[in-house]
Amino acid sequence: MASAVVTPAFIEAIRARLPDLRLLTEVADRESHRADETAYLPTGLPGAVALPTETAQVVELVRICAEFDVPIVPRGAGSGLSGGATGLEGALTIAFTAMDRIVEIDRDNLCVVTQPGVINARLKAAVAEVCLFYAPDPASFEMCSIGGNLGTNAGGLCCVKYGQTRDSVLSLEVVMADGSLIRTGGKNLKDVAGYSLTHLIVGSQGTLALVTEATLRLRPAPPARSTLIAFFPTLSAAGDAVAAIATAGVSPATLELMDRFTIRAVDDMHGLGLDRDAAAMLMVESDLPALAADDELARAEAACTGAGATTTLRSRDAAEADLLRQARRAAHWALERLGEVKMEDVAVPRSRVPDMLRAVEAIAARHDVRIGTFGHAGDGNLHPDLVLERGDPNNERITKVVQADLYRAALDLGGTVTGEHGIGSARVEWLEAQRGPDAIRVMRAIKTALDPQGLFNPGRVLP
């Protein structure tokens, strides 16, 4: 495993071999690359921060790090929720912020070639200008980068219809730990030549390869969305509605859930007039053409009513639909107004969503803590947000025990400790409990084969 740190000789080598590279060595600059959005995790201060603009610079940085045995932390926009890109003490952080060119929008082949530093929302906007659609939409899409999305195989609201980030990747250009540069594919929709390095590297959080360019799948822009919201007297009823929507063959663009605690926090923040006494709310969006959307939402509404919804409402226009969607996206920030928030990311088989929601309630009661749960019910991915008193010295301890209970509950239901945020460093000690020692050994063998010095983001993903 790599064990050296950034030294003056290392800095000197970078400056000599990459005179045009922006390299940050001041403490203040390094500090600003220390943390991500998992504020409660321990972090290290990077020994230096490199901001390459071109692939060739990344190749050379990797070679220099190999020579000096210095670990590399690849970093996107710093909005991660798993401690996957937080600083390692004395290591080199490569921030891909400045590799932010959209290289090509290929309308004929419905794909875009982009550098990894491009912010998700900017990519969406750029392709929307030519009536195309990039589907993956993490709640943080206005601040997260494509490179980070690739690292974590990021999800979001509309994965229930369009899949996670991996499902939109046609090809990657990556730098391997030995400094070689590989293109894992092309613009082909089908290609079975050899192992799919594309699929393996997406979601590996920079531990196997550094992504320097990606070719991503686009779709023709769908119509503006229509929205249905439904309120339920019990969590079970909401869970039944989710199942009924899926088994009815309705395939909405989003299928989101909020529990009572979250409904109230969102309503306090946005004054939307939500049903504050409901146990749960579902938000269903359709992006089909007008008449088909009406039909789709009518079927979803029937499923909700059949499952016991007390109230259902449809957005009257695009502005109202936008407002509802923004409210859901802002759930985490609404909860953040109430205290120090720790967001979790469990997922379970869809039929177990009601069980998971009940387990969260029981865990909150057992530890006498506040937990607001919201998330992507349509694909079984829930974000229980632990809301703690700010500055309470017990917070770290409470967080630990509540997390453990949540993870154990998810695993007992056949679920996962992370649906879309990643193992990073936050959940690394749970990977073996979920996957088992044999699977870890296989993952470790792949890691060692591709990065024998252990230079790429050590300690992340794998224990």
**Closest CB 356 distance from a copy of itself, rounded Å:** 11
Residue 396, SS3?
A: helix
Binding mask 139-178 for a copy of itself (x = CB under 8 A): -------------xx-x---xx--xx-xx--------x--
> How far is the C-alpha of 373 from the C-alpha of 386, rounded, in Å?
9
User: Given the complex with a copy of itself, which of 3 and 196 has the nearer CB atom?
Assistant: 196
Kindly tell me which residue out of 122, 199, 270, 358 binds a copy of itself, with binding defined by CB under 8 A.
Answer: 199
Kindly tell me which residue out of 34, 349, 408, 459 binds a copy of itself, with binding defined by CB under 8 A.
Answer: 349
Task: Give the footprint of a copy of itself on residues 84-113 (CB under 8 A).
Answer: 106-110
Kindly tell me which residue out of 19, 194, 271, 393 binds a copy of itself, with binding defined by CB under 8 A.
Answer: 194
> How far is the C-alpha of 409 from the C-alpha of 76, rounded, in Å?
32
> How far is the C-alpha of 198 from the C-alpha of 214, rounded, in Å?
10
> How far is the C-alpha of 259 from the C-alpha of 9, rounded, in Å?
55
User: Given the complex with a copy of itself, which of 154 and 263 has the nearer CB atom?
Assistant: 154
Q: Which residues contact 39 (CB under 8 A, 6 or more apart)?
A: none
**Closest CB 10 distance from a copy of itself, rounded Å:** 25
User: Given the complex with a copy of itself, which of 250 and 338 has the nearer CB atom?
Assistant: 250
User: Given the complex with a copy of itself, which of 34 and 183 has the nearer CB atom?
Assistant: 183
**Closest CB 432 distance from a copy of itself, rounded Å:** 9
Amino acid present at 260 = R
Kindly tell me which residue out of 22, 63, 122, 187 binds a copy of itself, with binding defined by CB under 8 A.
Answer: 187
**Closest CB 297 distance from a copy of itself, rounded Å:** 15
CA triplet 61, 26, 49: central angle to 5 degrees?
25
Task: Give the footprint of a copy of itself on residues 291-330 (CB under 8 A).
Answer: 292
Question: Read out DSSP for 54-121?
Answer: SHHHHHHHHHHHHHHT--EEEESSS--SSSSS---TTPEEEEGGG---EEEEETTTTEEEE-TTSBHH
Nearest residue to 107 via CA among 219, 222, 223: 219
Task: Give the footprint of a copy of itself on residues 236-295 (CB under 8 A).
Answer: 243, 246-249, 292
Expressed in angstroms, the distance from the first to the final Cα of the chain is 13
Kindly tell me which residue out of 293, 347, 377, 426 binds a copy of itself, with binding defined by CB under 8 A.
Answer: 347
**Closest CB 68 distance from a copy of itself, rounded Å:** 23
Tell me the residue ranges of DSSP E strands in 72-176: 72-75, 92-95, 102-106, 111-114, 132-133, 169-175
Amino acid present at 393 = P
282 forms beta bridges with 230, 257
User: Given the complex with a copy of itself, which of 14 and 462 has the nearer CB atom?
Assistant: 462
> 147 near 244, Cβ under 8 Å?
no
Neighbours of 358 (CB within 10 A): 15
User: Given the complex with a copy of itself, which of 358 and 435 has the nearer CB atom?
Assistant: 435
Residue 55 makes contact with a copy of itself by CB under 8 A: no
Task: Give the footprint of a copy of itself on residues 382-441 (CB under 8 A).
Answer: 414-423, 427, 430-431, 434-436, 438-441
